[in-house]
Amino acid sequence: MPLRLQYQPVVTARSGDYRGAALVGIHSASIAWSFEDAALRDGLMGFGIKRSDFDPETEELLRTDWLMGQRRFKVDDDDSGSDVRSYKAPFQRFRWNDYTLKPEHTYLYEVFPIRGTPGALTRDEEPLKYWLRPSPTKLDGTSVFTNRGVTAAFAYLDRFKLQHPKDVPYNAAYHWLSRGLKESILEFIESAANGEALHVCIYEFFDEDIAEALNAARRRGVEISIVYHGKANDHATEKNEEMIADARLKRVATPRRLTGNISHNKFIVHLRNGTPIAVHTGTSNFSENAFHFQTNAALLLEHPFVAQVYEDYFQILLTDPPRSRSRQDETDARFRISALMNQINAHSDRHFETSYFSPLRTRDIVEAAVELVESAESCIFVSSPFGLDNAIIDALGANSKDILEYGLANATAKKKIAALSRANTRFFTPTRLETYMGRAWDSKAFGNHKIHTKLIAIDPWGPNPKLLFGSANFSDGSCRQNDENAFLAIGDARLTAILTTEFQRMFDHYKSRAFINTIRSNRDDDDDKRFLHEKGEWMKTSFRRNAYSHKFRDRIVFAGG
């Protein structure tokens, strides 16, 4: 048994005419399978999945169980609302996403074809086997943190009932929702020692714990410098300055007042002996909403060149440079940032393919997104909170129908993305599901639930995955008016796999809710659509190339095709 595995972003499996692939992150994995022989569809009722957990050091088997789902055959309905093991109620799909991985474990997934009739099921003797180990949080100097991002979920309801996170003892709900994201920022701040420095760029500086950690660092001799969104007559500015004053950080905080729109960065640079050694950056503001109720991701990059790049950008913003009319004005923010980007992206040892900072006079981030979309060979995953620039929408629409395109946006962007749900393109917005399968399903939406991660991931199963990620939304304003940062990584299979599996977690979460809420109201719990199919019609669309559906390409792409 290959228990002492090293992390692999993509794990493949084969058994006879069946093939499959797993895309593996830190906490999440997408397990998928497929076949082409039409004879294998005869009597196929779905697939059962058995998961075994191992300690990779001792090789001890920790647990074996069959994965469970909610849908069952009508003949087996007992009105209990409890989940059913997949050998009895097989998954009638060609992939299953597991969001409960532990990086310190090794896993074996065995996918069995299930045949027969309800009440008289059999399973094929030879399953597809996927041996995998999740990524550690930190690998090769890059640490990745993704929060859970939603209380309106059955998992939250099951653990914490209808309690608001603030009412759960010992901050247990907050820690569960943050899943190390907020904690990583606190640890990053606490790692700075006397005589070192922390340089902070932040849009929303609302969190007391972060403010107190920075104040504590200042008291132990760490040089603190903060550039914050400080535009006049602005609600976020008022809250920022109140927090800064309460934390006694006013002397080390510089408002960014001359930006065209908002100073939208979220990063901290750690310097030792005046030299940048690491940067913590991502999509998360310093707020309760950002850490616990929105989807967010952050990276700790212990790469001196990257840290120096962010420090150089910080030093430009620290002077609060204006946007002048002259293209040749060397004090202009856009002139200075453009020169920095040219210097960075021409460097032979740059860590990322391209780094982006703004404001600029050009639309670099939007143009990069368009080129990325046009370069896709199999699939595109987009998390775009506030919609997409029309040029990106046009590029998605112009792609071959063989390209699978999945996206998430907030409800405020519904009109912008309305035309994108067609053929192999599906975009969803956050939706609650109050009851399902005869029981309460989602907890109350206690906070400001939003899609907030900004990313475009391309071909994560392929040999040349690509990822565009950062604070910037995919808009003209993020290029020309806001202070922003982002990067394009090419060939970083681990980072692309981690962020894609977390995107998929939220995509499937909201996709299922949108589907259920569309086909039935919460009063229609007896609707037959909640039961499994008793014949082979469940897979017809997945094998029909010309169907008006994404299921055909979904089957092929997720299985590694």
Overall CATH class of domain 139-352: alpha beta
d(CA 141, CA 345): 20
Q: What angle do CA 263, 266, 268 make, to 5 degrees?
A: 120
Banded model confidence at residue 499, pLDDT cuts 50, 70, 90: very high
Q: Closest by alpha carbon to 427, among 485, 474, 377, 368?
A: 474
pLDDT beyond 90 at 2: no
Check pLDDT > 80 for residue 1: no
Q: Per-residue pLDDT tens for 392-405?
A: 999 999 999 889 99
pTM of the full structure: 0.96
| Of 128, 144, 125, the residue nearest 136 (C-alpha) | 144
Residue type, 20: G
Instruction: Indicate the CATH number of 364-558 among 3.10.180.10, 3.40.50.720, 3.30.870.10, 1.10.1040.10.
Output: 3.30.870.10
Adjacent-strand bridge partners of 556: none
CA distance 320 to 299: 26
* Position 219 confidence tier, pLDDT thresholds 50, 70, 90: very high
Helix axes 208-219, 181-190, angle to 10 degrees: 10
Contact 225, 218 (CB under 8 A): no
Q: Are 144 and 137 in contact (CB under 8 A)?
A: yes
For residues 373 and 392, the answer to whether their CB atoms sit within 8 Å is yes
Backbone angles phi, psi at 540, to 5 degrees: -60, -50
d(CA 111, CA 98): 13
Distance CA 104, CA 289 (A): 29
Higher pLDDT pick, 57 / 329 = 57
CA-nearest of 246, 166, 243 to 204 is 243
Q: How many of the other CB atoms lie within 10 Å of CB of 454?
A: 27
pLDDT score of 447: 77
Q: Would you say 268 and 199 are in contact if contact means Cβ atoms under 8 Å apart? A: yes
Write down the pLDDT at residue 432.
Answer: 86
Task: Flag the least confident range among 324-333, 382-391, 551-560.
Answer: 324-333
Integer CA distances (angstroms), 70 to 59, 81, 211, 512, in order: 32, 8, 43, 12
- Is the confidence at residue 80, as pLDDT, over 70? no
Q: Note the pLDDT of residue 122.
A: 95
Per-residue pLDDT tens over the stretch 170-179: 999 999 999 9
Helix, strand and coil content of the chain, in percent to the nearest 5, comes to: 30, 30, 40
Cis preceding linkage at 359, omega within 30:
yes
Q: How confident is the model at residue 522 (pLDDT cuts 50, 70, 90)?
A: very low
Quick one: average pLDDT of 496-506?
97
Domain segments of the chain as ranges: 10-136, 139-352, 364-558
pLDDT band, very low/low/confident/very high, at 3 (cuts 50, 70, 90): low
CA angle centred on 292, ends 287 and 293, rounded to 5°: 95
Identify whether the C-beta of residue 47 lies closer than 8 Å to the C-beta of residue 114.
yes
Reported as a single tens digit per residue, the pLDDT across 102-148 is: 999 999 999 999 999 998 999 998 999 999 999 999 999 999 999 99
- 521 pLDDT more than 60: no
Contact between 263 and 227 (Cβ < 8 Å):
yes
Determine the pLDDT at residue 369: 98
The closest alpha carbon to 135, from 107, 164, 171, 172, belongs to: 107
Query: In this structure, are residues 293 and 150 in contact, taking their beta carbons and an 8 Å threshold?
Result: yes
Asked if pLDDT for residue 217 goes beyond 50, the answer is yes
As a whole number of angstroms, the distance between CA 554 and CA 539 comes to: 12
Nearest of 478, 503, 298, 474 to residue 380 by alpha carbon: 503
DSSP for 249-293? -GGGEEEE-SSSS-B--EEEEEEETTEEEEEEEES--BSHIIIII
> Residue 286: what pLDDT?
98
Q: How many CA atoms lie within 13 A of 532 on its CB side?
A: 27
Instruction: Note the pLDDT of residue 191.
Output: 98
Confidence of residue 354 (pLDDT cuts 50, 70, 90): very high
Share of the chain above pLDDT 70, in %: 96
Contact 168, 450 (CB under 8 A): no
Q: How far is 13 from 482, CA to CA, in rounded Å?
A: 46
Confidence tier at 510 by pLDDT (50, 70, 90): very high
196-209: b or e for each residue (b if 16 or more CB lie within 10 Å)?
bbbbbbbbbbbbeb
CA distances, 514 to each of 62, 149, 427, 511, 519 (Å) = 36, 18, 11, 5, 9
Q: What letter represents residue 239's amino acid?
A: K
Side-chain-side CA neighbours of 361 within 13 Å: the count stands at 14
Taking the C-alpha atoms of residue 502 and residue 29, their distance in angstroms, rounded to an integer, is: 9
First to last CA, the chain: 27
Quote the mean pLDDT of the chain. 93
Same CATH fold, 139-352 and 10-136? no
Residue with tokens 């569960």: 176
Homologous superfamily assigned to 10-136: Immunoglobulins (2.60.40.10)
Q: Please indicate whether residue 237 or residue 446 has the higher confidence score (pLDDT).
A: 237
Residue 45 · residue 92 · CB < 8 Å: yes
Query: Where do we find the tokens 């209990």?
Result: 80
Helix (H, G, I), strand (E, B) or coil at 108: strand
Q: Tell me the Cα Rg of the chain.
A: 24
Please report how the helices 235-246 and 208-219 are oriented relative to each other, as an axis angle in degrees rounded to 10: 40
Please report, rounded to a whole number, the percentage of residues in the chain having pLDDT higher than 90. 78
Asked if residues 505 and 97 have their Cβ atoms less than 8 Å apart, the reply is yes
Band (pLDDT 50/70/90 cuts) for residue 423 is confident
